[in-house]
Structures are given as C-alpha cells and as structure tokens.
Amino acid sequence: MSENLTFASAGVGAELRRWLAHLAAERRMSPKTVEAYERDVRQFLGFLAAHLGEAPSLKSLAAIEPRDVRAFMAARRAGGIGSRSLMRSLAGARSFARFLERNHKGKVGALAAVRAPKVPKTLPKPLTVSSAKRLTDTGLRAGEEREPWVLARDAAILALLYGSGLRISEALGLTREAVPTPGKGDAITVRGKGNKTRMVPVLPMVLQLIDDYGALCPYDLPDHGPIFRGAKGGPLNPRIVQLTMARLRGALGLAETATPHALRHSFATHLLARGGDLRAIQELLGHASLSTTQIYTAVDSEQLLQIYRSAHPRA
C-alpha cells in the first residue's frame, strides 16, 4: 500500500493499514482480493477528499450523510462503471466502516443507509455432458503445432476442472505429491479460497491423464513443486488454460460462455441433475455458504423447463 495517503488523514490512513492487514492475516483473503478491497476504499476516500474539500478524518467520516454516498455512486456511474462494480465498491467501503466501528473508531452510518444497486442475477451456463467430455480429446487440436506433452497437460487440466469441479487456481496450485498415481488413491487435497483445504474425489481416468502428462513432461516434477508446468518449466499461467479453452470452443462450436470456470459449473449442475445432494456439492465446491451453491438448483430447473417446452406436445 502506498505510504502517500493524500486522500486520507493520518488517522484514517493508519486504520486503513490495520484493516488491510486484518483482511490478509485474520480473514485469510488472497493478496488479489485484499488489493481489490484497498482499491475500492481508496476510490471512496479519494472521492470524499474532493467532495468535502479536505482529506477525510475519522470524525468527518462519521459525519458524512447518505447524500454524500449517493454523490459517490453518481460519480462512479458517470465514470462508466456498471452495477456489479459499483456494488463491489460499496461492499469494500462498508467492510472498512464495520472495521472502524468494531474498533471504536466511529460509525459511518451513511454507508448502511444507502441501498446498493440491484444486480441482475445471471445463472451459470454449463456445458453439455458430451461437450465437457470431448474437451479432453487431444485429436481436436491435431492441427496445432504443440508439443505432445503440452496437449497432454491441457487435457489433464480440463479433465480435472470438470471431473472434480476445481477452480483454475486450485488446479494449478496442486503439487506433485498431492495427486495420487492411478490405482493408489481416489482423492486430492485442494487449497481453495481463504487458504482453506478440502478433500475432493478424482476420477481414475483423470488420474491417468495426469500420469500420462507427467510421463511426457520434459521437466522434473519434484513432490513439493507445482505439477502443471508452462512451456519454459515454470508454474503454468492461468491465461494459458483460458486460451486453450478458447481454441477448443472454436473446434467444438461452443458459445463464448464455455470458459474453464464453466467446467466447474458443469460439474455441479451435472451432479445435481443426477440426484447429487446439495450439501455434498457445497463441500465438493468449497463454498462457504449453501446459498452460493443453490444457484445450481435454478440452473437445473431451467433445463427441465426447456426439455418440457421442447418435448411436451401441448407446450
């Protein structure tokens, strides 16, 4: 965090540093999440500095009114940001305000008094079962000038995302020792959001694909190092997986919504469609709240309605 806090008084700056340290150490948020929270609060405080004519102090923060918060929202709207980004900005500011209140540094009641913008709910768009399975077919990329080990690596990662419902960061964070060899285990330990770990089952065919990749990989894969490597031997960049998925979208004629993260959605949706328990799916995905997992019940219901409309003679 920059030491030149021209957008805030010394007192607010000190509390901001304490809050960011709290998010990282006690809330165990990732560095990127902490950085996003800091950026949002800096924008809010920077607006107030210009709006009030001076860098806000703890006392002036407690004295702001709902109209000041609405003015901030209007300014951000004028800057071209959408409802989702604006809602995130307010969430960051409110989180900082709650921290101040818990630490007896004043209550910023105006932030709680203003309603956040409504964000239309968007349902995840899963792939079909057949499309998800075909993504691991290296024959689809026969025309690409890629080393066989790279094709094997990409097939293994995509199979893992769909087969175990992992986030890209979770898959690329796996070490060699975390993945059992075929026939010697059926689960992996994944480190997810907030540095929390969970056990996730893994299919034998996925383990075989990972093993095939390991046999072809030209780089050493020590037990404590990342199992998936980039072209030069370093940790694989998530962007490479996204570009791979984009190429496969073209080969399979899939929509732009067919991203690596859509494989995680597909995992959850297909499990639910086949009678999977919602609580079990929550655990497998590593969701802290069941309400996050419940979006998949809406996806499944929508698919059932589509089938009904297309198949029922009176629909």
38: Cα separation from own chain's centroid: 18
Give yes or no: 308 in active site: no
3-state secondary structure of 246: helix
User: Contact at 8 Å (CB) between 101 and 107?
Assistant: yes
Give yes or no: 18 in active site: no
Helices assigned H by DSSP within the chain: 10-25, 31-52, 58-63, 66-78, 83-102, 109-113, 129-134, 148-164, 168-172, 204-216, 238-252, 260-273, 278-285, 290-293, 295-311
Give CA–CA dist 251/299, Å, rounded: 26
User: Contact at 8 Å (CB) between 267 and 292?
Assistant: no
Give yes or no: 167 in active site: yes
Q: What is the Cα Rg of the chain in Å?
A: 24
Give yes or no: 287 in active site: yes
Q: Which of 76, 94, 167, 229 is catalytic?
A: 167
Tokens of 111: 């932030």
Give yes or no: 77 in active site: no
Q: Which of 51, 146, 193, 198 is catalytic?
A: 193
Give yes or no: 296 in active site: yes
User: Contact at 8 Å (CB) between 273 and 303?
Assistant: yes
Which residues does the annotation mark as catalytic?
167, 193, 261, 264, 287, 296
